[in-house]
């Protein structure tokens, strides 16, 4: 093994959580090393979420990585709930003034963060193997990978649901809460102009559908399909036919079709592991929690976790106090469980369940009627969708 290197924060995973944490720490004079098992090309190309909350946008802009986001992101001031042959707009500009969402692909956020870290001399190591966490419960944790050792003050596990970080916590140290849904999402990326200016969430007895977009030239669609569905059973012609059946339910609306460039099936899952800390190992993002994508919360929760961890680490290095680190899990979990509930609520509101009978379907329509006719109910949806305010502001960056 080569001689060990030392850093203040060892970060596992070069997704949005790990990269943003590394960059925010850099702005506060805190050193980090990011370890990623995939190649840079793979990380920058994988398609994930594309709806950014107001707080996520504000965080990226304040961190100096929002130039392209501000220039190319699509700002939306509402969404449409479509059911029963009618579209009902939820107007953010009236219900939650000054707050909106921005459509900007997760892979674009990753590209911006990688470029910023490398430009600042950041240490990101791609295609590393055999990453392992050691002595996390002590004051001298370290990571090993590819015959090398990295000594750290703190380890941040930002390596997703299937990563090594959470698996490194001894059995019995975590309490897991989870739910698997009896359906999945068939996601489609198409080289076609969006057929609407804002996202459309469509309830239909055939199943849920979502019309989204990535740019003025690229559209993103989702179809509710059975859990475990094989994407090979969905040729392009069938996809377009089903999207038309579920979305062309409002007079005058025509779905624009064209070239499909990517498609895949995503399972629907709710998952939380508590606490989000084991000694000096801190879990963030999908390593600690998963939400069904209906509420558009996954990436945004990761950013919220990273903000809390950044503040706690900056406080520790500035004052020597571990109070905020001790509160990390509890602080994050308050937002995590709110997002869990909202995501579950949106999922059960808009999807069909095989066990539903006529009574359950009528209740679902009644609930949709209430959300689209009550100012209070619509405001609850809007304020959760655009993102709740953060509990604390980030500390000011130190001079670099």
* Residue tagged active-site, from 83, 111, 293, 328: 293
Q: Residues 210, 211, 213, 219: is their CA dihedral positive or negative?
A: positive
Q: Is 385 a catalytic residue?
A: yes
Question: DSSP label at 145?
Answer: E
Nearest of 178, 262, 249, 179 to residue 220 by alpha carbon = 262
Q: Phi and psi at residue 364, in whole multiples of 5°?
A: -65, -45
- Taking CA atoms, 150 is separated from 32, 38, 146, 154, in Å, by 10, 19, 11, 11
* Residue tagged active-site, from 83, 104, 201, 328: 201
- Cis omega (within 30 of 0) for bond into 210: no
* Residue tagged active-site, from 23, 77, 289, 297: 297
- Taking CA atoms, 272 is separated from 97, 209, 252, 281, in Å, by 31, 26, 43, 16
Q: Is 201 a catalytic residue?
A: yes
Are the CB atoms for 282 and 333 separated by under 8 Å?
no
Q: Phi and psi at residue 245, in whole multiples of 5°?
A: -65, -35
Indicate left, alpha or beta for 29 from its phi (over 0: left) and psi (-120 to 50: alpha).
left
Q: Is 293 a catalytic residue?
A: yes
Tell me how far apart the alpha carbons of residues 290 and 344 are, in angstroms, rounded to a whole number: 11
Helix (H) or strand (E) holding 223, with range, is strand 219-226
Q: Is 111 a catalytic residue?
A: no
> How is 164-216 classified by DSSP, letter by letter?
HHHHTSPTTS-EEEEEEEEEEEEEEEEES--SSSS-EEE--TT--EEEEESSS
Helix (H) or strand (E) holding 134, with range, is strand 132-134
Question: Residues with Cβ < 8 Å from 390, sequence gap 6 or more?
Answer: 55, 304, 307
* Residue tagged active-site, from 76, 77, 111, 351: 76
Task: Please give the positions annotated as active site.
Answer: 76, 201, 293, 297, 385
């Amino acid at each position: 093994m080569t001689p060990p290197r030392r850093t203040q924060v060892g970060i596992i995973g070069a997704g949005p959580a790990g990269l943003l944490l590394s960059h925010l720490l850099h702005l506060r004079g805190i050193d980090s090393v990011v370890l990623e098992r995939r190649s840079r090309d793979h990380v920058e190309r994988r398609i994930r979420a594309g709806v950014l909350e107001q707080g996520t946008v504000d965080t990226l802009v304040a961190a100096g990585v929002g130039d392209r986001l501000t220039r190319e992101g699509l700002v939306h001031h509402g969404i449409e709930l479509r059911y029963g042959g009618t579209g009902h707009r939820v107007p953010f500009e009236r219900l939650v003034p000054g707050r909106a969402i921005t459509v900007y692909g997760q892979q674009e956020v990753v590209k911006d963060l990688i470029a910023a870290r490398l430009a600042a001399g950041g240490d990101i190591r791609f295609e590393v193997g055999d990453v392992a966490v050691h002595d996390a419960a002590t004051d001298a944790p370290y990571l090993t990978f590819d015959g090398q050792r990295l000594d750290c003050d703190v380890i941040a596990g930002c390596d997703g649901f299937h990563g090594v970080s959470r698996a490194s916590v001894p059995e019995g140290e975590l309490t897991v809460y989870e739910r698997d849904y009896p359906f999945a999402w068939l996601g489609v990326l198409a080289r076609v102009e969006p057929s609407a200016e804002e996202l459309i969430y469509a309830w239909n007895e055939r199943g849920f559908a979502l019309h989204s977009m990535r740019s003025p030239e690229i559209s993103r669609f989702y179809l509710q399909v059975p859990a475990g569905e094989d994407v090979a059973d969905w040729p392009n012609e069938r996809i377009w036919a089903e999207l038309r059946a579920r979305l062309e339910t409002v007079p005058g609306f025509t779905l624009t079709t064209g070239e499909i460039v990517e498609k895949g099936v995503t399972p629907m899952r709710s998952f939380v592991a508590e606490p989000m800390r084991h000694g000096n190992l801190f879990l963030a993002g999908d390593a600690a929690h998963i939400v069904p994508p209906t509420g558009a919360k996954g990436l945004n929760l990761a950013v919220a976790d990273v903000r809390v961890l950044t503040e706690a680490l900056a406080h520790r290095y500035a004052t020597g106090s571990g109070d905020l680190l001790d509160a990390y899990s509890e602080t994050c979990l308050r937002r995590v469980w709110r997002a869990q509930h909202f995501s579950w609520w949106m999922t059960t509101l808009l999807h069909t369940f095989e066990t539903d009978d006529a009574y359950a379907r009528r209740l679902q329509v009644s609930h949709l009627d209430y959300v689209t006719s009550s100012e209070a109910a619509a405001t609850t949806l809007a304020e959760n969708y655009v993102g709740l305010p953060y509990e604390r502001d980030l500390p000011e960056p130190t001079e670099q």
